[in-house]
Amino acid sequence: MAHELQLPLSVIGPADVVRLRRSLEQFNDQEQQAALRTKSGATADQGQAGRILHELATANKRDIGVATDRQALLTELEALLKTAPKITMSFAVEPSAAFMTKIVGWFRTSIHPMVLIRVGLQPNIAAGCTVQTGGKVYDFSLRSKFTEQRAMLIERLHTPRVVAPSAAPVTQEVAT
């Protein structure tokens, strides 16, 4: 079942899962072709995606060199894409991988272990982020904060400006 799959934190969103599945399929194909050509059990080149694939296999105690484990992982990834809860998070700038790792870690620890996060960009939110879960949107942006604090801003606008008296020049006596 998909819920039994352990997702590494480097797998963030559905796009990563799709990429992972494609890599696994390619790797599977390469393994089969290599077995047919050499029958020597030579392993295929895993490439860049292989690192995450390896992490996934390690986390789930699978051996990607074994065809049944690869097939099981493929099945679990398919199920994950269909059943995993998906969240969309938008930021003003593109977040770094380390940043997203922390965010994903929190979500999988606190909300759901299979959650997948789509990352979007909304430059107009200035700071903070927005989170969309299903049909609900949580706005943690600076704009939202300003809107919440509008009453305070208006109150400050209507408060008469008090001009502080000019400070007297500071004189220091030199100790003799």
The tally of CA atoms less than 13 A away on the side-chain side of residue 82 is: 8
The answer to whether residue 1 forms part of the interface with another protein (CB under 8 A) is: no
Site for another protein in 84-103 (CB under 8 A): 85, 87, 91-93, 95-96, 99, 102-103
Length of the chain: 176
The helix or strand, by DSSP H or E, that contains position 57, with its residue range, turns out to be: helix 49-59
Smaller CB distance to another protein: residue 37 or 158? 158
The answer to whether residue 124 forms part of the interface with another protein (CB under 8 A) is: yes
Number of residues that bind another protein (CB under 8 A): 41
CB of 145 to another protein, least distance (A): 8
For tokens 């392993």, what's the residue? Answer: 43
The tally of CA atoms less than 13 A away on the side-chain side of residue 2 is: 15
Could you tell me if 130 and 90 are in contact, meaning their C-beta atoms sit under 8 angstroms apart?
yes
Using CB under 8 A, list all residues that contact another protein: 83, 85, 87, 91-93, 95-96, 99, 102-103, 106-107, 110-112, 115, 123-129, 131, 133-136, 138, 140, 142-144, 146-147, 149-150, 153-154, 157
